[in-house]
Amino acid sequence: MRIVAGTFRGRTLIAPSGASTRPTADRTRQALFNVLEHAPWSRALKDMRVLDLFAGSGAVGLEALSRGAVFCLFVDKGAGSGAAIAANLQRLDLVGRARVERWDAECLPARSAAQGDRFDLVFLDPPYGAGLATPALAALAKGDWLTAGAIVAVELGARDPAPAATGFELVEERTWGAARVRFLTLAGNA
């Protein structure tokens, strides 16, 4: 697993040990960012604040930082994931541009001023088939985590049902191999 593009292109990443995480494949990550960088409904990654939920190795959030995002909050409840993300941040000298929290992504706390500004881009990559995308989307909306016009990229298994996304509008959907990504924005901001 490696960074696909940007400042850290080609740098290898540490993944958590064991089978509890499923890192987004390099090809899927490249395709995901191609959509984000070229879709008419998207904005440039430069200067975005990113939230990586169910972060696992942190590969997607690290890719965003490599491509110009200014900050990423990595959220994963696994101790192994937190350690892998912290090691990746250290290796890439990105500690000052990121934070790691060991929270359940499907029950995020309400955002407080101490947690900084709202986020422009969210990657939501729950375990396939677990049904966790719906509660995570609800927690994002309820917890005041998103800027107006924020984009949420939800990765699901290609055969997983679409999550209930109350308060969000679907702007695009793509399937790459075993992964299906739904791009959402807050309702009224598409």
pTM for the model stands at: 0.92
**pLDDT value for 79:** 85
Hey, what are 4's tokens?
């696909």
Q: In the structure, what pLDDT confidence band is assigned to residue 76 with cuts at 50, 70 and 90?
A: very high
Distance CA 128, CA 149 (A): 27
Domain residue extents for the chain: 26-186
User: Angle 8-92-69 (CA atoms, 0-180°, nearest 5)?
Assistant: 60
How far, in Å, CA of 174 to CA of 111, rounded?
Answer: 30
Classify domain 26-186 at the CATH superfamily level: Vaccinia Virus protein VP39 (3.40.50.150)
Burial (CB count <10 Å: 0-12, 13-18, 19+), residue 45: buried
Q: What is the pLDDT of residues 95-129, one digit of tens each?
A: 999 999 999 999 898 898 877 899 999 999 999 88
User: What's the whole-number average pLDDT of the chain?
Assistant: 90
Q: Supply 165's token pair.
A: 């996304």
A 10 A CB-CB count for 76 gives 27
Q: Specify whether the CB–CB gap between 65 and 72 falls below 8 A.
A: yes
